[in-house]
Amino acid sequence: MHNDNNVNIEELSSTTSSSDTLFFIEKNLQVGMKLPQDFQKIQIRPILPKHIVQSFPFAYENFTDILSLFSIKFESEDAIDVKDTLHLCFKRPKSTKEISTCAQSIEEVVDFVVRELGTNEVEVKTMDKKMEVPNGRQDYMIKKVKKLDVPGNNAAVCHRIRYPYTVYYCHHQIGIGHYDVTLVSLAGTEVQTTAICHYDTYAWNPKSTPLRALGLKPGDSPLCHFAFLNDMFWNIKPAVSNSLDMAQ
């Protein structure tokens, strides 16, 4: 499955996290800055190989068949998750702004990444899934920031979405910046994560939650958010590391 879709940030947040993604402007990525965030995990689901998932129905019109296959009760929270995921994968308005896909296996993730980045010389960044993070929204202070060298300022980003087995929503982004960030909670817990900054926000919906919350209009400022615990960020391997340590 391969769609030309423009990411709906609010819709994606509802299928990946138990709370809204918390955005901030890029200039706030400074040591000592305090930012609210929620790093809650979504429930662990089995990762299935490609040859298995290819035998499963996976389409919006197969919604009731999918519920029956996995013994999910109609109108349950799990059924709502399935419906939201299928809507994200198949029913959002099409656009030429961004290439995206829903990958049902790691093999499909890698196929998408290599195809969109045009090379198999890629690297991936993820958060440590064993990392213990505070529950709920917390204030974090930025302890360290390092801007990463991302060739071409483009990457393939894959978000794990809610489904009976592991499914990733992957999209190819152009005009983005990546940062390695170390955060510290008020209780002293350190969190290592990635910040992703969107430089081209001109096409964003002016009524979207991130813009309204920050009092901004489309194109006013690069907008950033931290990675979820289950996200993968793929980029072309830099020939030479030119990352900039901003901790000093």
* Torsion (CA) 209, 124, 5, 222 in degrees, nearest 10: 40
3-class DSSP assignment, residue 238: coil
Give the mean pLDDT of the chain.
Answer: 82
- Of 29-38, 113-122, 192-201, where does mean pLDDT reach its minimum? 192-201
Quick one: average pLDDT of 171-195?
87
Q: What tokens does 225 get?
A: 């958010």
State yes or no: pLDDT of 9 exceeds 70. Answer: no
Q: Would you say 171 and 233 are in contact if contact means Cβ atoms under 8 Å apart?
A: no
- 246 pLDDT tier (thresholds 50, 70, 90): very low
- pLDDT on residue 117: 92
CA distance 15 to 83: 10
- Report the alpha-carbon distance of residue 107 to residue 53 in Å, rounded: 11
What's the angle, vertex CA 159, arms to CA 154 and CA 165, rounded to 5?
145
Neighbours of 40 (CB within 10 A): 14
Judge whether residue 13 has pLDDT over 60.
no
- Per DSSP (E only), the strands in 67-209 are 94-103, 122-125, 138-147, 154-161, 167-174, 176-185, 190-198
- Whether residue 15 is predicted with pLDDT greater than 80 in this model: the reply is no
Higher pLDDT, 205 or 115: 115
Q: How much is the pLDDT for 12?
A: 54
pLDDT at position 11 is: 52
Q: For residue 14, what are its two tokens?
A: 């509802």
What pLDDT is stored for residue 96 in this prediction? 54
Q: Kindly state the percentage of the chain with pLDDT values over 90.
A: 39
Greatest mean pLDDT among 122-136, 156-170, 193-207 lies in 156-170
Determine the length of the chain.
Answer: 248
pLDDT at 194 over 90: no
Where helices occur in the chain by DSSP H, the ranges are: 9-16, 50-53, 63-69, 77-90, 106-117, 209-214
- Which of 58-72, 121-135, 184-198 has maximum average pLDDT? 58-72
18 vs 182: CA distance, rounded Å: 22
